[in-house]
């Protein structure tokens, strides 16, 4: 897929990995729709990118919100060819705490945002792509989802987060197989420890220690590196049904 002129949508696109992806897509000539729960930040980024960038406020867990955002992007661009799903949240709690069993509500919320929200974006974007005309290779689109190394190396306290990201990994291959007949590819990126807003509240010494736990390079991942891989997935037509770890050979310890 040639990204120049390609209509693209980034869910969770106003900050972190999503914002970096939106910026790189725009640099490569794509027409970008930034979809985020924080409408003000989404609008600010669209204004920064200029050109044909647009912004829509949406909660990825809302059927109506995502359907409306995708429909608006299709109307603005005349179609949809690429989507990146980057919206997500975290929660840390042991299965049994000093006060008893873990809270159920936070677990449900993390699953709803990270897994159900990802599927909600996937299904609406795929339906929009399926309505388009295929290119010379028979491709109608490509979708990138976001998991985490926690899907494989979940740490103590990460039951909810790891379960949600493991669900995204499990979704990848069957979604790619489901959508093969429409010429739509699906891949997932599983980042390691990245310098995103989720880590922004940590003291600098903690952030440095986290970076040094990565075998090589011994630093936090940069959102731009996630964006580079997302764009490469769009451009490489043989990448399909795969989850790619992006972690500098990190394997997470229990804690």
Catalytic site positions: 161
Whole-angstrom distance, CA of residue 207 vs CA of residue 203: 6
Whole-angstrom distance, CA of residue 248 vs CA of residue 111: 27
Torsion of CA 72, 76, 77, 83, to 10 degrees: -30
Q: Which two tokens stand for residue 205?
A: 């010494």
């Amino acid at each position: 897929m040639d990204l120049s002129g390609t209509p693209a949508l980034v869910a969770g696109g106003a900050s972190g990995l999503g914002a970096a992806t939106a910026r790189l897509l725009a640099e490569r000539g794509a027409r970008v729709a930034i979809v985020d729960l924080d409408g003000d930040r989404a609008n600010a980024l669209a204004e920064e990118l200029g050109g044909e960038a647009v912004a829509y406020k949406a909660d990825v867990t809302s059927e109506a919100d995502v359907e409306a955002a995708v429909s608006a992007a299709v109307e603005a661009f005349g179609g949809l060819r690429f989507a990146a799903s980057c919206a997500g949240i975290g929660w840390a709690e042991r299965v049994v705490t000093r006060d008893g069993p873990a809270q159920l509500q936070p677990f449900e919320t993390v699953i709803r945002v990270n897994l159900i929200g990802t599927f909600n974006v996937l299904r609406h974007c795929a339906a929009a792509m399926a309505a388009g005309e295929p290119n010379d290779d028979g491709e109608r689109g490509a979708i990138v989802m976001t998991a985490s190394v926690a899907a494989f190396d979940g740490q103590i306290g990460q039951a909810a987060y790891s379960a949600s990201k493991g669900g995204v990994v499990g979704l990848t291959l069957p979604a790619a197989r489901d959508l093969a007949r429409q010429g739509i590819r699906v891949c997932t990126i599983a980042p390691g420890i990245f310098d995103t807003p989720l880590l922004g509240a940590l003291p600098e010494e903690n952030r440095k220690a986290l970076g040094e736990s990565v075998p090589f390079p011994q630093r936090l991942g940069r959102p731009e590196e996630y964006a580079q891989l997302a764009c490469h997935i769009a451009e490489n037509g043989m990448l399909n049904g795969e989850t790619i770890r992006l972690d500098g050979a990190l394997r997470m310890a229990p804690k």
